[in-house]
Amino acid sequence: MRKEKSNIQKHKSKGKRLQTRQDIEKKKKIITRTFFTIIALIVIFVVGMFASDFIILDNNKETNLVINNNNVTSYLKNQVLIEDGIIYLSKPDIANFFDKYIYEEKEENKIITTYEKKIATIGFEENKININGSNKNIYAHAVKKDGVIYLPISEMKDVYDVEISNIEKTKVVTMDSLKREQKKAIVTSSTSVKSSTNFIAKTVDRVKKGDCVIVVSSNNGYTRVRTDNGKVGYIKSSKLDNEFVVREEMEEEKQVEGKINLTWDYFSQYASAPDRSGTTIDGVNVVSPSFFYLDKSGNLRENIGSKGQAYIEWAHENGYKVWPMVSNAEAATESLSITSEIMNSYKLRENLIESIVEKCVKYKLDGINIDFENMKQEDKDMFSRFIIELTPRLKEIGLVTSVDVTAPDGGETWSLCFDRNVLGDAADYIVFMAYDQYGVSSQKPGTTAGYDWVKLSLNKFLKTEEIKPEKIILAVPFYTRVWTTDTDGKTTSNAVSMKNIEAVVPEDAEKKWNDDLKQNYVEYMDGNNKKQIWIEDLESLKAKLSLITENNLAGVGSWEKDMETDDVWKLIKTELSK
């Protein structure tokens, strides 16, 4: 029994020793792993801190593109091409970074591109470019490779208003807008430029004491810089000094400060401009006389003469900008095809634009109001092209482009012929003609401009069409319609100006306020005919004008001068000042 106990104790003792050895081995392994982990972290830290002193980790395998201090290489649809010192960028990439409306004109076999105050055409054969109507010799032309169009962007710096550099040793091409501010600073001690401000970050470049770098931004003790090698990264702000501005930011001044208060002065192409001498229009800052129109052959005609020139002088003397209306009314009445022919031909569009520019310079105008109606739905994109190409030519000489459009819902030739999103983006202003909800061609009597319809349509401009509110001018009517329904149920109407409505409505007719339309409604019998009027007055206008303030719109337009009552101008001025 003692022997058995002794053996058991020996086995237990042996087991404990074995367990102890295993525990010791485990501890040794844990200590070893911990040691090597610490060493590895130290190595990584040291490499992160000091390895950049002798090694650059970011070497470009292909040409990188840096636009306005942002490396956009990963966003390129095609590689940057450099041939014989010429830098080429693909048409899709130019569309992405510079001109989303860049256009291949197959009839002319040219590329048309617009940017700010420039419109340029470049072909595939001659080393020439046309900028704003002037030809210029260059060292390259557009090319096609594997079905992709490339443009010699290094020869088009004047078009896109950029400064371009090709840094061959680091395979970086930089493009900087000449309109943007540029700041530089001096490096006070040699240091690494890191890809981020993280504790461990890749080194993208090295700078030495005395180097000059472009300052992009500063935050939390770090400054984002661009080096002479075109590399963008971060260094500690304490290693920079003597920051200075190389180029000031260029801000485009608005022609009209505050809300726009425009009124149309219509007098057809057969009448003369009105004599406004000795008068003023309180609050108005833009007038739009009907000076220009397309004739039946599609040529631009003017209706100015000595009276029109006196009108321009009167406007300028009173501080009003003059944005004459350009109408296609006569051409559109004659045939839809006349306007269509012009819109679908680059040469004809160009000729019309040149004519408009010449007239604007000749008469010292401040802008243009394009009022094209009755167009083919299938010409929607080409009308947009016309505005895209017109706007930079007018901007070049400091003029404003405004375009009149109808409500989003309507007929093919009245409403669906406009791409409001593109027009609102390309032009300086888009004018929503918020009237003729029920117009002259309507078979059913109704309001000229009900508040609920105006608000609903305006919301479509803002939300569906995604037009910036500061580009929208809301145009209101100074007239309404008197609707007549005879005993056979046939309905006709005639327009009546605001100032004459009270003379039309019988004294015993009862006015009823419609809170949805924000209008007074009148119905009465004239013999056997039923008369209906949705009245435009101060109350109805005030409701519509409130939409300008509520939505921060650009301002108001009014159709047309001399249809209003005298107290209208005080109302508009008051509402716009809110």
> How many beta carbons lie within 10 A of that of residue 49, not counting itself?
12
> In the predicted model, is pLDDT for residue 242 greater than 60?
yes
Name the CA radius of gyration of the chain, rounded. Answer: 35
Q: What is the pLDDT of residues 102-150, one digit of tens each?
A: 999 999 999 999 999 999 999 999 999 999 999 999 999 999 999 999 9
* pLDDT averaged over every residue in the chain: 92
Q: Which of 224, 247, 270 is a domain's end point? A: 247
Same-domain status, 300 and 447: yes
> In the predicted model, is pLDDT for residue 555 greater than 60?
yes
In a domain, 27, yes or no: no
Query: What does the pLDDT read at residue 269?
Result: 87
Same-domain status, 300 and 369: yes
Query: What does the pLDDT read at residue 374?
Result: 93
Is residue 373 part of the annotated active site? The answer reads yes
pTM greater than the 0.85 cutoff: yes
Interatomic CA distance for residues 205 and 221, integer angstroms: 19
Q: What is the pLDDT of residues 64-107, one digit of tens each?
A: 999 999 999 999 999 999 999 999 999 999 999 999 999 999 99
Q: Which of 137, 168, 199 is a domain's end point? A: 168
Q: Give the chain's domain count.
A: 3
Q: What is the pLDDT of residues 448-484, one digit of tens each?
A: 999 999 999 999 999 999 999 999 999 999 999 999 9
> In the predicted model, is pLDDT for residue 219 greater than 80?
yes
> In the predicted model, is pLDDT for residue 50 greater than 50?
no
Same-domain status, 204 and 300: no
Q: What is the pLDDT of residues 298-356, one digit of tens each?
A: 999 999 999 999 999 999 999 999 999 999 988 877 778 999 999 999 999 999 999 99
Q: In what order do the strands lie in the sheet with 479-485?
A: 491-497, 479-485, 529-535, 519-526, 511-514
Interatomic CA distance for residues 549 and 482, integer angstroms: 30
> In the predicted model, is pLDDT for residue 4 greater than 60?
no
Query: What does the pLDDT read at residue 331?
Result: 80
Q: In terms of residue numbers, what domain contains 274?
A: 262-477+537-576
Query: What does the pLDDT read at residue 183?
Result: 97
Query: What does the pLDDT read at residue 51?
Result: 43
Interatomic CA distance for residues 378 and 376, integer angstroms: 5
Query: What does the pLDDT read at residue 330?
Result: 82
In a domain, 561, yes or no: yes
CA dist 233 to 62, 218, 238, 542, Å?
19, 11, 15, 55
Q: Which residue among the candidates 373, 536, 560, 575 is catalytic per the annotation?
A: 373
CA dist 457 to 353, 412, 433, 443, 538, Å?
31, 17, 10, 21, 21
In a domain, 531, yes or no: no
Query: What does the pLDDT read at residue 60?
Result: 78
In a domain, 482, yes or no: no
Query: What does the pLDDT read at residue 57?
Result: 46
